[in-house]
Amino acid sequence: MNDWTKIRNDFPALERIINGLPVVYLDSACMALKPRQVINAMNEYYEMYPACGGRSIHKFGEEASNAYSAARGKFAKFINAAKQEECIWTRNATESLNIVASSVKLPKGSKIITTSLEHHSGSLPFVERAKRDGHKIEIVKAQSDGTFDIEDWKKAIDSKTSLISVVHSSNVTGTVAPLKEIVDIAHDRGAIVMSDDAQYAPHHPLDVQSIDVDFSAISVHKMCGPTGMGVLYGKMEHLESMDMCLYGGDTVSDVRFENNKIFPEYLPPPAKFEAGLQNYAGAIGAGVAAEYLQSIGMHEIEKHERSLLELALKRLLELEHVHILGTDDITIKTGLVTFNVDTVSSAHDVATFLNEEFNIMVRSGWHCAGPFHYQMGIDPMKGTVRASFYLYNNRSDVDVFLKGIESLIEMSS
């Protein structure tokens, strides 16, 4: 049984008082707050052993190498990867998605499938890959409640399909896709699946082996880790066959010079995807973040968030001027709710009002999901409001949020 108040105290940003009020942080789907454990681990690297990993043979270098390697192991455990070498450090989930979209080998005349619900980072790299190599691209349309009809996937995935990019949990509707079913259909028909787990991994137990997904993209900054860090998980067979994206230091086992020519011999994954000096502090922070979340328990975190979401949804659904985007079935949702209020001219008014009057931090805009906003007839410029919950939020946060919305409606009606 977790002590959620104690957990909340791990996050120093929540100790801030702004304009005499505490912070109600409901923007974790964009950026999660950082616990002391992560901050301390990164500070320790910078203060005690700020050296290059895998290169320098002195004590600092040895400690940096060990910490960097241990971090990968912690992360592999977090997603249950078969081997830690299947986890590549990247800058963010966007980079992870781009690496696969640009470098995975596809037969000529393939079909790539993505969806209307994707974050731009989950669709655009694949749209561009199709354009680059003359592949066909097909879009599976999400239902208006943000769910997918599995029959649409059965129709779309055919023998020509070689690659699928699908968002596991939507950053707009919070709906969780039936990933395992999609993967099974894809594998039956010879296709591989890239899952955008930027929103899923921080909030649910992710087991890449059990789902049997081929690739997964994860944002570390959304899971209590540092910014500028992401992970690309890939099955070793795929990582080995993929082209490299960046060449240079740390990617080679040897670089010979013979007959006035240079002959490189490249290392296997993960090194072949991690050229140049790495973000050691970031990786160390990522490992600690993974360990921190696991120590609390991903099932517990999921349950906690859903209890807050249930509370928020129940009241929001009762409010006359609030229009919720996506399903209200919390059993297939990540802990976020996206909505509009029809008494104001733009979602940005809601975010500005809540911030200025109540210190409630939510996100307004199109959430880098233009296609779904257009599909739903929502002008992306006026946008939608997203409130997202995480392990450090509590019922009081939900109460203040609802009070803020009620006050906004009263004052703007």
User: Of the ranges 6-14, 145-153, 347-355, 387-395, which one interacts with other proteins (CB under 8 A)?
Assistant: 347-355
- Determine the 3-state secondary structure of 8 from DSSP: helix
Q: State how far the Cα of 293 lies from the Cα of 27, in Å rounded to an integer.
A: 18
- E strands, 170-224, where? 192-196, 215-219
368 is catalytic: yes
Q: Is 22 in the site for other proteins (CB under 8 A)?
A: no
Nearer to other proteins, 323 or 382 (CB): 382
> In sequence order, what are the residues at sequence separation of 6 or more whose Cβ sits closer than 8 angstroms to the Cβ of residue 408?
341, 343, 344, 349, 350, 353, 354
Q: Is 84 in the site for other proteins (CB under 8 A)?
A: no
372-391: which residues touch other proteins (CB under 8 A)?
380-383
Q: Is 348 in the site for other proteins (CB under 8 A)?
A: yes
Cβ–Cβ under 8 Å, residues 124 and 152: no
Q: Is 413 in the site for other proteins (CB under 8 A)?
A: yes
Radius of gyration of the chain (CA): 22
CA proximity to 97, closest of 125, 75, 67, 65: 125
Q: Which of 364, 372, 386, 402 binds other proteins (CB under 8 A)?
A: 364
> In sequence order, what are the residues at sequence separation of 6 or more whose Cβ sits closer than 8 angstroms to the Cβ of residue 20?
none
Write down the least CB distance from residue 380 to other proteins, Å.
6
Cβ–Cβ under 8 Å, residues 111 and 248: no
Nearer to other proteins, 73 or 370 (CB): 370
Give the CA dihedral 312, 313, 314, 320, nearest 10 degrees: 110
307-346: which residues touch other proteins (CB under 8 A)?
343-346
User: Of the ranges 189-197, 324-332, 363-371, 387-395, which one interacts with other proteins (CB under 8 A)?
Assistant: 363-371
Write down the least CB distance from residue 359 to other proteins, Å.
15
Nearer to other proteins, 204 or 222 (CB): 222
Cα-based distances in Å from 392 to 31, 338, 357: 13, 20, 22
Q: Is 21 in the site for other proteins (CB under 8 A)?
A: no
Q: Is 411 in the site for other proteins (CB under 8 A)?
A: yes
Q: State how far the Cα of 372 lies from the Cα of 366, in Å rounded to an integer.
A: 9
Q: Which of 347, 360, 362, 398 binds other proteins (CB under 8 A)?
A: 347
Nearer to other proteins, 87 or 360 (CB): 360
Write down the least CB distance from residue 356 to other proteins, Å.
8
Residues with a catalytic annotation lie at 368
Residues of the shown chain interacting with other proteins in the complex, contacts defined by CB under 8 A? 343-349, 351-353, 363-366, 368, 370, 380-383, 411-413
